[in-house]
Chain A
């Protein structure tokens, strides 16, 4: 019994690293831009495809392939604000805009899925593991590939938190999240910060897609279920609250892992949404409260 608990805990923690990478990026974008990026999962898929192209097609080493995929997704993300969101914002002016941005990113999601399907076909693509072997913990074994996902996720998230805490541009991102008007009075260029934030957020998703490529197959809709789950994580943690998203990612992943002991596995995916619905009914501001703009 104890061994099973430990095994599920390890599974949950590893999965939590991936959820955190994904949900923290989504939360960052929401907190700064006030936009729910429905296309987040497609950048996860793009990360997987870029990793496949770099490692399988171009025979790059695994680390270079993952780094290249993350950078490539980041660069693609840099274009999303100036090409899509900013023109809509200019047209709308001060009118309420949230639902329109939601529909816009939903359209982007569908467009990117179709583009991936057209460019790469619908086949499941496989990327070889970046790290072979398993870590034997006597009561259970964890593949090095899964550990790698966890370690790299922690490093990337740690880097993001350090950037936001200490770097001049990170301070600017936090300032815009709190009060965009006051941030402008500091000389902060809002369109630049919006573009950077979107790129950082989807870059993390792309890194996640590249890291998980050997574990999930790569296909156009691989990221969409993650997007939906990340909404539940974001609501659980508090909309726009990065620390909340981090905590909620591990809570959900652990809940999913342990739920297998209590309920049929078919219900596993419903756990996150059950938690989300309960949270919305009992505490709509989430575990740690909303962290977006006041």
Chain B
């Protein structure tokens, strides 16, 4: 459903991505890993329209995303969850979820979508009046994912969903990701936590210095001594 071809992108004149190619098939989880500075977040920001690419292709179900703003890309069925969640910390849980449904046609539809989210995530129904910033780190991350579901996306882009979380919260977040994927939502997940992403991904891309360094299944990645040594920090043998 998502095709990225020979993508070049960056900040100002600094080219971070130097010809990255990847695909996300419907209903699958694709993980992108690699060392710091490899261009993982730049990739997601370019796909979602925060950054204008220098060259290459990005298509969602054969429609080009290049030149579109993030709000337009969202309306095509793609949600984005930022690295730190991107919650509006001073607003309540309820207001955050309502904003998640902003792109729906009416306030009534947005309220109905929020009610569905409360049924799916009862924790947030009980805390609806609480400022989002007062939730625990793991709850905030799950709230950010829940909020992105309000518009029923077919593809979710997640930027390091486990960043800065304690291990027990990482498990909660990835349980949520697995459950959502079970419901048919495709995901492109950029992640530093290699073990967490390998446990859920159907396919993995490794980026290094803005280029593709590996493309295969988690099993193939684990079987590649070179990749394990270079990118997973494991010793040979």
Contact = CB atoms under 8 A, between A and B. Distances in A.
B88 A168 contact: no
Interface string A255-266: 000000000000
Contact of B74 (A93, A175, A187): A187
A185 B82 contact: yes
Contact of B69 (A93, A171, A184): A184
A168 B110 contact: yes
Contacts of B215: none
A73 B111 CA distance: 33
B88 A184 contact: no
B88 A94 contact: no
A185 B102 contact: no
A179 interface: yes
Nearest to B78: A185
B220 interface: no
A82 to B, nearest CB: 15
A187 B81 CA distance: 13
A143 interface: no
Contacts of B49: 184
A175 B99 contact: yes
Interface string A171-214: 11011001101111111111000000000000000000000000
B184 to A, nearest CB: 21
A166 to B, nearest CB: 10
A175 B92 CA distance: 12
A185 B74 contact: yes
Given A94-B11, A181-B50, A188 B86 contact: no
Contacts of B147: 186
B49, B75, B102, B151 pick with most chain A CB within 10 angstroms = B102
B225 interface: no
Interface centre among A94, A171, A174, A183 (most CB of B within 10 A): A171
Contacts of A294: 89
B138 interface: no
A175 B75 CA distance: 18
B80 interface: yes
A181 B102 contact: no
Contact of A188 (B50, B71, B79): B71
B11 A179 contact: no
B50 A184 contact: yes
Given A94-B12, A168-B110, A171-B95, A182 B87 contact: yes
A184 B49 CA distance: 10
Contact of A174 (B48, B79, B88, B110): B88
Given A94-B11, A168-B110, A172-B99, A184 B90 contact: no
10 contacts: A175-B88, A178-B89, A179-B88, A181-B70, A184-B49, A185-B74, A185-B86, A186-B147, A187-B75, A190-B71
Given A178-B88, A187-B74, 19 more contacts: A93-B12, A94-B12, A168-B110, A171-B95, A171-B102, A172-B99, A175-B91, A175-B99, A182-B82, A184-B49, A184-B70, A184-B71, A185-B79, A185-B80, A185-B148, A186-B99, A186-B147, A188-B71, A189-B69
Interface of B: 11-12, 48-50, 69-71, 74-75, 79-82, 86-91, 95, 98-100, 102-103, 107, 110, 147-148, 151
The 5 A-B residue pairs with the shortest CB-CB distance, nearest first, are A187-B103, A182-B86, A184-B70, A185-B80, A187-B74
